[in-house]
Structure 1
Amino acid sequence: MPRLIWGIVVAAAVTGALAGCGSSPDAGSASSSGGATAGPASSGTSATATATATAPGTGSPGSPGAPGAPGAAAGSPHCTSGMLGASLTDLGTAAGNRYATLVLTNRSGKNCTTGGWSGLQLSGADGTVPTKVVREGAARTITVGNGGRAYERLHWAVVPAGDEPDDAGCEPEPSALKVIAPNDTEQITANWTYGAVCQHGRIRLQPLTTNPEPR
């Protein structure tokens, strides 16, 4: 099947990387042949970066997060993927565009800290689906209380690019979104019910926030 994405990932080459998170203009990019690079994070700066990655696999590098996110709050551990559940909520449509929110729920029994952008990878019944993540906005370290939630807004197009078919769907239709929390390597999964992602799987991703309607 076609190659897919994951958010900008920490510098490292690996088969099946997720387009990962980061918090600086030096975010870097991931290779569609497996592997990704990410530049040093810079606190308080906005970032726009593009990543294309192959399917996530075990041992894949984690996605970079906000500076100081791991353990940033005294007594609060870093939010790992194993501490979180993932789901998606529909934010509607507008003139060929689609919007959804990725919701990460803290199920660990304790407060934890995180920040930046998650690593993302679309997948379907036949394997990974092309995914390309564009990180937008400025990363901030946040604390997610026990049972609390963090949010990331997704924005993508349903209008095919010039070199994509428009009669049989622009790209294969995903059934799941694989997610790697910032500064982690483990995957969690959210169901995907929003159809194909055109423009070669391009998803614009806002950084994590405690605002349930990230903008």
Structure 2
Amino acid sequence: MPRVIWGTFAVAAVTALAGCGGGSSNAGRTSSGGDGPTAQSGGTSSSPSGPTTGGGRTPTVSTGSGGSAQEPRCTTGMLAASLSGLDAGAGNRYVTLTLTNKSGKHCRTGGWAGLQLSGAAGRIPTKVFREGTARTIVIPNGGHAYARLHWAVVPADDETGTTCEPVADTLKVIPPNQTEAVSAKWKYGPVCQHGEIRLTPLATAPPA
């Protein structure tokens, strides 16, 4: 699992917002506490992700996972979400998001999910930075797709109080191309730096 000092994120964000396309280091940003995002097309991300839709249109780049237009698109009702595999180091936290296909048939998807932290009082500020390059994938019936979440537990200079941000108990996950969310239990404490989460695109193998 990579270790990234949070102080480098500001540089990464500036680079991402400077232009579209390019390599897999580009990332997009938005606040999940406000308006919905602009839809994201396929390929490397440099546009925002947000709470009201998954990460834009399904990428047209196909992998060896058998993706084709003949497979139905994965909808929210076809999927279940869970979080696992907490890893920690140098003020950073990592977990794996797993989407499980419970539909009874194969389906295709690809790109980045939308994320929204939520607690007893409602929505909690969530800002998603997209990393990596999107690929079209097929999730077999009963199979899984994976993404990695990465956030900081080191408060920003203007974050004060007992915790840097309110503590969530639920992560709402919106699959790519969808507007409805599926919920996963959140038991990982506050997300500092104003709710910033770095997210990889969905893949057929768990993140290394």
Query: Runs of 5+ in structure 2 lacking a partner?
Result: 1-19, 62-66
* 1:8-47 correspondence to structure 2 within 5 Å: 30=30, 32-38=33-39, 41-43=41-43, 46-47=44-45
2:200 paired residue number: 206
Q: Is 1:67 the equivalent of 2:68?
A: no
Q: Is 1:143 the equivalent of 2:135?
A: no
- CA–CA separation in structure 2 for the residues paired with 1:186 and 1:103: 17
1:48–1:74 distance in 2 versus 1, CA, 3 Å: closer
Write the letter of the residue equivalent to 1:154: L
> Could you list the runs of 4 or more consecutive aligned residues of structure 1 that deviate by over 4 angstroms after TM superposition?
23-32, 48-51
SS of the counterpart of 1:82? helix
TM-score, normalisation: structure 2: 0.78
1:82–1:175 distance in 2 versus 1, CA, 3 Å: same
1:170 paired residue number: 164
- CA–CA separation in structure 2 for the residues paired with 1:127 and 1:42: 31
Asked if the contact 2:39–2:57 (Cα under 8 Å) also holds between the matched residues in 1, the reply is no
Give % identity: 56
| 1:76, distance to aligned residue in structure 2 (A) | 1.1
| Coordinate RMSD, CA, aligned | 2.6
SS of the counterpart of 1:200? helix
SS of the counterpart of 1:199? helix
1:193 paired residue number: 187
Asked if the contact 1:99–1:155 (Cα under 8 Å) also holds between the matched residues in 2, the reply is yes
Asked if the contact 1:158–1:197 (Cα under 8 Å) also holds between the matched residues in 2, the reply is yes
**Equivalent residue pairs, number:** 182
- CA–CA separation in structure 1 for the residues paired with 2:165 and 2:28: 25
Q: Which structure: greater helix fraction?
A: 2
Q: Is 1:104 the equivalent of 2:99?
A: yes
1:181 paired residue number: 175
- CA–CA separation in structure 2 for the residues paired with 1:61 and 1:175: 21
1:61–1:205 distance in 2 versus 1, CA, 3 Å: closer
1:50–1:211 distance in 2 versus 1, CA, 3 Å: same
| 1:35, distance to aligned residue in structure 2 (A) | 2.4
